[in-house]
Structure 1
Amino acid sequence: MENSDLELGSGDHVDMIQLRLDYHVENEARHRNQSSPSIFMVPSRLRDVSPNSFNPRVVSIGPLHKDDVNVQAFEGQKSCYLIYLMNRIKNSSKEEVWKTCMQKAYTLMNKIKACYVWPETMSYSDAEIAEMMVIDACFILEFTYQPVYDKESLYLKDELQYKSVMDDLVLLENQIPLFFLNEIYHCTILKFDSHASLIKLIHELLHGKISNFIFSTTLEININDNSISSANHILSLLHQCYMPRDDMKEVRLGSRIHSAIDLDMAGVKLKPSNETENPTWVMGIEMKQNRFPYRPTLVMPKLKVRDSTEFLLRNLIAYEQSLKTKMYFTSYSNAMNMLVNTQEDVAKLVDSEVLVNLMGSNEEAANMINNLGKNVRAHTFYEEEWKKLNKYCKGYWPKHIARVRSTYFQSRWSVIALLAGIILFVLQVVQTIFTILSSGRNM
C-alpha cells in the first residue's frame, strides 16, 4: 500500500476500497459485453497434435506470423499486389488511395487491436499495425479479384504456390478482421468497379477453391451479404457457410456408435448423400430405415481426404473450440473418428463411396481422421441418429447377423471353409439318403 493510502482516515480508506471494487466490477461487465477476440494462437493442446496445420507456408496475414522466416520471401509480392490494385483506380493517385486507407486503419485501430489476442513477446506500434493491415487487406482483395475478372494472374505463375496462398488465407492465426477488409474494399475496388461484391469475391474463393477440398457436393453453401457484418474473418465466414438448420440441437456427445466394419457386419448400409436425397445440410448424417429389405442406411456426406483436408478441418475445429460458436465441424470429426478404427474401416467407407481417399494409403487416412479428435471437446449434432442406430444394432437379428458374418465371412478363407463345410454336409446327407434307400430295396 502506498504512503498516500496510509494517511487516509478509516472512512476515506473504506471509500477508496469501494471505489476500486466498483471499478473492477464495471470493468468486468464492460469486458463481458465486448465481443471476444477471434484471432489468436491456437491452444497448445490442439497445436501440439499437428503443429504444421496452423503455420502459413507462403504468406502471412496479420501480425501473428509476420516475422516467420518462411513467409518473408512473399512480402515483396504483397506490395506488388497493393500497387496493382491501386493502379486500377484511375481518378486517384496511389498516394491518395494509400492515405485514405491508412486513415481508415488509424480510425479503427482500437477495434482492430481488440480482434487479436496479442502474445506478450509481440509489440507493434500503431503505425506498424496500420501499414500491416492496409497491405494485407489490399493483397487479399487483389488476390481474390484477379482470378475472377483477370483470367491471368500477374504475379502468381506457380500453380502450387497459388494453392498454398489459398490454404494460408483460411488459417486461424493468419487472419485480419473482416470489417476492416470491407472498409478497404470500399476505398479501392468499389472506386473502379461499382458492380463488384465483396461477398461474391470471397464466395468464389471459399466455394470454388477451398470448400471443395472437404466435401464432394453440389449443394450450395450458405453465404450472403449479411455474413460480412456477422463473420469475424475469412475462416469465420467459411465456418458460417456450413451452418446447420436452426432446429438442429448441439449436445455433449453421449451415444457412441460402432465402426464402419462393425456397422456393415450388423447389416447397416453406408451411402453418400446426393441431390436425390434432398439434403438440407452439407454435413447432415441421417439413418434411414428401409421397410424391405430390413436393412437401415446411414446417409452421410462424401468426404475428400487429402493433405489439405487435415489443416482445413483442424483450423475450423480450433476456431470452434476456442470461441462460443456452434461446433458442427467438431461434431462431424467426432462422427468420423467413431466410424474409423483401422484402415479396414477406411476401405469400407471408400467402397461405400462416402469417402474419397486421395492420400497415400488407407492407414494414413485412418491416422489423420483419428488424430482430428485428439484433445477436442466432444460435441455432436447427430445424437438422435446415433440413438436410432444403436437401438437397431442392439436388436436380436442384427447382433446375430454380425456374429455370423464376423465368424464365417470375415475373410475369403473363412467363406471357402464355410462353403466346403456346407458341401461336405450336403454330400453326407445325400450319401445317407442313398444308403437308406439301398437298404430298403434289399429288405
Structure 2
Amino acid sequence: MENVDVELGDVDNIRDTVHILLGCVQKVLNGKVQFSPIYMAPTRLRNLSPNSFNPRVVSIGPLHKEDKSLQITEGEKYTYLHDLLSRLDSPPEQTLKACAKKVNASIDRIRACYNGMKTYSDVDLAKIMVMDACFILEFIFKLFRYGTSITYNRLFVRSVALDLVLIENQMPFFVLQDIFECTILKMDPEASLTTMLSYLLEYINPFSGNFNIENIGQETTHDHILGLLHKLYLPSHPKPSNVSSLPIAHSALELYRAGVKFQPNRNMTWPLAMDLKFCNCKHPIFSLFGAKPNLSIPVICINDVTEVVLRNLIVYEQYTPVYNYVTSYAMAMNMLVDTPVDICKLVESKVVINHLGSNEKAAKMMNTICKEVTFQDFYYTEQWENMDRYYNGYFPRNLAKLKRYYFSGPWHVIVLVGGILMFAITVVQTIFTIKPT
C-alpha cells in the first residue's frame, strides 16, 4: 500500500508541475510576459567592474532606491520638484494630480519594465516615478536653459549624467515623456525631450564631435535614457550583420609597421564609423614609396567615464534585442590594442586621447572591455579583411618584419647601422685588395 501511495503522490506532483508550466505558457500567449529593459547587470559582467554599474550621486527608479550612499540626494529631489512646479502657471496640486494619473494608468506596464525589483505598492512605485522624473526634467531644463554657470558645476553635471546612463538606474522613457508633457511642455510648447537629453549626454560622450540627433529624429520609442544614448551611436540606417566570426586581427603597431596609417574619422552620420582607403594605390608595392592605406577611426577620449559608458552600452546590447554596434566597436579596438605600445601609436595618430595617466591603464581597459561578452555582430568585417589581405602581401609583410627586428628600439637601429657600415668597409677593402696597383 505504501508503494501505491507513493505512486499516487508522484502522479499528483507531475500533474501540478504540468499545470504550472502550462500556466507560464499561457501567460506568454496572453502577452503578460514581456521583455524587461531595466535590470541588474549580470554577475559575470558586474564582477569585472562593479563601479561601472553603481550610481555615484543619484538613484533613479526602484533598483537602487535603498542605497545608503545615495540618500543625501533623495532630499535634494524635493528642491528640484519645488523648482519645477513653481515655474508652471497651474497650481502644484493640479500638476501633480495630472502626473500621478498618467503614472497610475501605466503602473502594470512600469512594473513589467523592471527585472529584480523589490516589492513596492502601487502608491510607492508611482511616487518614485513622479519624483525621479521631475528631478531629471528640472535638472536638464536648467542645464539646457542656463548651462553649468548658473546652478551646477561641470563635475556635478557629469556625475549626474553618468548615473543617468547606468543600466540599473533607469526609468521607462514613456514615463519620462508623460511627465515632460505635464510639466515642461506646458511652459515651452516647442521643447523637445530628446534634444534636451542629448545636450546632457554630451557631457559623458567619450567620442569627439557632437551627436547627430537627426539620425533618430524626435521619436519617443526609446526604452530609457541609456537606450536613447545607444541610438545616438547608430548609423542612419542600422541593419543586422551577417558575420558569425571575427576576422583575423593585427595590432595597431604591426599594422603601422606594415604601412597602415591611422587617422581621425569624424563621420557625422555614424559616430562609430571606421573606413579603410588605399589612396588610389591598388598594389601594396606602392607602400614602399609612401602611398600607405589609411584606416580612419573615431576619436575616443579614454578617461574615468569611458569605461562606464561603454560597459553599460555593451550590457544593454548583450541582453536587449537591439543592434550591437557599440560591442562591435569595442571588439575592433580590442583587436587593435594588444599592449601599451599600441595605445601609444594610436595616441600619436590622434585617434586616441588618453587621460588615464598611463598607456598601461588605457590598454588594460581596452583589453578587458569585451571580456565575458558574447560575440554577435562585427560591422567592420570588410575593413579588417582588406587590412589582413594587405598585411599578408609580400612587401607589407616583410616591411613589418624588417621594422620589428631592426627598428623596434634605438639599440637595434645602432646595430643595424653598424652592420651596414661594417659590410660597406668590407666591400671597400675587398675592392682595393683585388684591384691591381
Same fold (TM over 0.5): yes
Partner in structure 2 of residue 370 of structure 1: 367
Instruction: Please give the alpha-carbon distance, in whole angstroms, between the structure 2 residues aligned to 1:158 and 1:149.
Output: 15
Partner in structure 2 of residue 425 of structure 1: 423
Partner in structure 2 of residue 3 of structure 1: none
Partner in structure 2 of residue 98 of structure 1: 96
Moved more, 158-167 or 126-135: 158-167
Report the AA paired with residue 299 of structure 2.
K
Instruction: Please give the alpha-carbon distance, in whole angstroms, between the structure 1 residues aligned to 2:21 and 2:147.
Output: 62
Query: Is the 2:148–2:157 contact (alpha carbons within 8 Å) kept by the matching residues of 1?
Result: no
SS of the residue 2:276 aligns to: strand
Compared CA separation, residues 284 and 314, structure 1 to 2 (3 A): same
Could you tell me which runs of 5 or more consecutive residues in structure 2 were left unpaired when the two chains were aligned: 1-7, 9-14
The answer on 1:287 being equivalent to 2:276 is: yes
Partner in structure 2 of residue 11 of structure 1: none
Match of 1:341 among 338, 343, 348: 338
Query: Is the 1:253–1:383 contact (alpha carbons within 8 Å) kept by the matching residues of 2?
Result: no
Structure 1 segment 247-396 matched on structure 2, within 5 A: 249-250=240-241, 251-274=243-266, 280-290=269-279, 291=281, 292-293=286-287, 294-378=291-375, 379-396=377-394
SS of the residue 1:262 aligns to: helix
Partner in structure 2 of residue 240 of structure 1: 231
Query: Is the 2:211–2:232 contact (alpha carbons within 8 Å) kept by the matching residues of 1?
Result: no
Instruction: Please give the alpha-carbon distance, in whole angstroms, between the structure 2 residues aligned to 1:42 and 1:376.
Output: 12
Give 1:424 shift. Answer: 2.0
Please provide the CA RMSD for this pair.
2.4
Compared CA separation, residues 414 and 169, structure 1 to 2 (3 A): same
Partner in structure 1 of residue 119 of structure 2: 123
Deviating runs (4+, > 6 A) in structure 1?
16-22
Match of 2:198 among 199, 203, 218: 203
Instruction: Please give the alpha-carbon distance, in whole angstroms, between the structure 2 residues aligned to 1:115 and 1:422.
Output: 71
**Identity fraction in percent:** 43
Report the AA paired with residue 372 of structure 1.
I
Give 1:371 shift. Answer: 1.1
Report the AA paired with residue 124 of structure 2.
E
Query: Is the 1:273–1:279 contact (alpha carbons within 8 Å) kept by the matching residues of 2?
Result: no
Structure 1 segment 75-224 matched on structure 2, within 5 A: 75-90=74-89, 92-119=90-117, 122-151=118-147, 156-206=151-201, 208-211=202-205, 214-218=206-210, 220-224=212-216
Instruction: Please give the alpha-carbon distance, in whole angstroms, between the structure 2 residues aligned to 1:390 and 1:123.
Output: 54
Compared CA separation, residues 297 and 153, structure 1 to 2 (3 A): closer
- Cα-to-partner distance string for 1:29-87 (whole Å, 9 max, x where unaligned): 234x8651100001111101000000000100000001001110011111110110000
Instruction: Please give the alpha-carbon distance, in whole angstroms, between the structure 2 residues aligned to 1:41 and 1:196.
Output: 32
Query: Is the 1:203–1:223 contact (alpha carbons within 8 Å) kept by the matching residues of 2?
Result: no
Instruction: Please give the alpha-carbon distance, in whole angstroms, between the structure 2 residues aligned to 1:249 and 1:431.
Output: 67
Give 1:326 shift. Answer: 0.8
Give 1:315 shift. Answer: 0.5
SS of the residue 1:252 aligns to: coil
Query: Is the 1:408–1:414 contact (alpha carbons within 8 Å) kept by the matching residues of 2?
Result: yes
Moved more, 128-137 or 387-396: 387-396
SS of the residue 1:131 aligns to: helix
Compared CA separation, residues 367 and 152, structure 1 to 2 (3 A): closer
Compared CA separation, residues 282 and 390, structure 1 to 2 (3 A): same
Instruction: Please give the alpha-carbon distance, in whole angstroms, between the structure 2 residues aligned to 1:322 and 1:20.
Output: 26
Report the AA paired with residue 85 of structure 1.
L
Compared CA separation, residues 96 and 392, structure 1 to 2 (3 A): same
SS of the residue 1:380 aligns to: coil
Partner in structure 2 of residue 37 of structure 1: 36
Compared CA separation, residues 80 and 280, structure 1 to 2 (3 A): closer
Give 1:219 shift. Answer: 6.5
Instruction: Please give the alpha-carbon distance, in whole angstroms, between the structure 2 residues aligned to 1:77 and 1:24.
Output: 43
Report the TM-score, using the length of structure 2 for normalisation.
0.89
Report the TM-score, using the length of structure 1 for normalisation.
0.87
SS of the residue 2:253 aligns to: helix
Q: Number of residues paired by the alignment? A: 414
Instruction: Please give the alpha-carbon distance, in whole angstroms, between the structure 1 residues aligned to 2:293 and 2:217.
Output: 40
SS of the residue 2:342 aligns to: helix
Partner in structure 2 of residue 63 of structure 1: 62
Query: Is the 1:337–1:370 contact (alpha carbons within 8 Å) kept by the matching residues of 2?
Result: yes
Could you tell me which runs of 5 or more consecutive residues in structure 1 were left unpaired when the two chains were aligned: 1-5, 7-13
